[in-house]
Amino acid sequence: MARYRIVRRPSSHISDYVYDIQQRWLFWWTTISSSWLSLEVAESHLCILRKADELDKRPKVIKEYD
């Protein structure tokens, strides 16, 4: 099952499109980035987001105090 997707939608300019990046959350999609002016820019931003997902996001204790 896909986790991200790029959705094309019409822009305010006739015959143009804008691209939204959406992320799956449970059973629906949430827009995390909207209105990219070209598919190439949206894909490059999605690549950055996917690399960020590979980082360890678990809580990590840096220092403890008594």
Q: What is the pLDDT of residues 20-53, one digit of tens each?
A: 888 888 888 888 877 777 888 888 888 888 877 7
Query: How many structural domains compose the chain?
Result: 1
Phi-psi region of 3 (alpha: psi -120 to 50; beta: other; left: phi over 0): alpha
Taking residue 36's Cβ as centre, other Cβ atoms within 10 Å add up to 20
pLDDT surpasses 70 at 10 = yes
Q: Does any domain span residue 61?
A: no
Confidence of residue 60 (pLDDT cuts 50, 70, 90): low
Q: Does any domain span residue 62?
A: no
Q: Does any domain span residue 60?
A: no
Q: Which domain holds residue 10?
A: 4-53
Confidence of residue 66 (pLDDT cuts 50, 70, 90): very low
- CA proximity to 33, closest of 52, 14, 16: 52
Report d(CA 30, CA 15) in Å as an integer.
25
Q: Which two tokens stand for residue 40?
A: 């190439």
pLDDT surpasses 60 at 12 = yes
pTM exceeding the 0.75 threshold for the entire prediction: no
